[in-house]
Amino acid sequence: MINLPTAPSFKLFNKTALVAGGTSGIGLACAVALAEAGAEVTLLARNLENLRETQNAFLAKGLNCKIMALDICDVEKLEAEIATKPAFNILVNCAGTARHSAATDTSYDDFDAVMNVNLRGAYFLTRAIAKGLIGANKGGSLINISSQMGYVGGIERAVYCASKHAVEGFTKAMAIEFGAYNIRVNSICPTFIRTPLAEQTLKNPKRLKWIEDNIKLGRIGEVEDIMGAVVYLASDASALVTGTALMVDGGWTAE
């Protein structure tokens, strides 16, 4: 008699998820995807008004949603607040920013602004969630929304690429360190996704051509393209996946 295997579940019932940058763009899409899969989602962002508006939209759709108004750049306050909460099973680190220019024109302020959000904030938030899980003796899935630019270079993107390459580095190192606690750490690396953050680039005909020439599937990404990836990495379906990057890049990095 053949014993057939049972497919692992993509459902997230009885799981709690924290989504940083969850009020717009990719972060909002990730939050919706996790909530629809059954997780109780907490949105983390700076703007309380935006948080409340987004929470109301979730509740109107019958989705679980809490809010946390914090600045990811204020890492001491962030870690202190996270320490007061029950351990989150899932983290999606999606708060991000970009200030594009030629490397020769990069200002100190632009460099610091990008690194403070994309790297410093992401690093210490990931650490804070991991500490909570370790203290509660629970496993979890920590997901950094990185970028294809964490693996390749880009026009006028030296600072942004530096921040995302660094995210890939600490993702791998933390995966090694936290594996003993059954805490998985992975990244999702999107190509250009149609969001407010990408709007200025997509309006530039020269940049748009460069993007379309490099995406092998021939189209700009939509936030919906990330939703399945985040549910996969958050769920038991990826139980043996850690320290890796899930490319959602339309084939950009295939070369």
pLDDT single digits (tens) 201-212: 899 998 899 999
Helix (H) or strand (E) holding 41: strand 40-45
Percent of the chain past pLDDT 90, that is, above it, reads 93
Q: Who wins on pLDDT, 61 or 197? A: 61
- What does the pLDDT read at residue 153? 94
Residues 247 and 252: their CA atoms lie apart, in Å, by: 9
Compute the mean pLDDT over every residue in the chain, rounded to the nearest whole number: 96
CA distances from 8 to 1, 219, 236 (A): 22, 32, 6
Residue range 23-41: average pLDDT? 97
- The residues spanned by each domain of the chain are 16-244
CATH number of the domain located at residue range(s) 16-244 in this protein: 3.40.50.720
What confidence category does residue 255 fall into, taking pLDDT thresholds of 50, 70 and 90?
A: confident
- What does the pLDDT read at residue 254? 95
Burial-class residue 138 by CB neighbours within 10 Å (0-12, 13-18, 19+).
middle
In terms of pTM, does the model score above 0.85?
Answer: yes
Residues 217 and 78: their CA atoms lie apart, in Å, by: 39
Residue range 152-179: average pLDDT? 96
What confidence category does residue 196 fall into, taking pLDDT thresholds of 50, 70 and 90?
A: confident
Edge-to-edge strand order for the sheet containing 65-69? 65-69, 40-45, 16-20, 90-93, 140-145, 183-190, 245-248
Q: Who wins on pLDDT, 230 or 204? A: 230
Catalytic residue, chosen from 108, 123, 151, 160, is 160
Residue range 90-105: average pLDDT? 94
- What one-character DSSP code corresponds to residue 199? H
Residue range 161-183: average pLDDT? 98
- In this model, does residue 200 exceed pLDDT 90? no
Q: Is 160 a catalytic residue?
A: yes
What confidence category does residue 62 fall into, taking pLDDT thresholds of 50, 70 and 90?
A: very high
User: Phi-psi bin for 66: left (phi > 0), alpha (psi -120 to 50), beta?
Assistant: beta
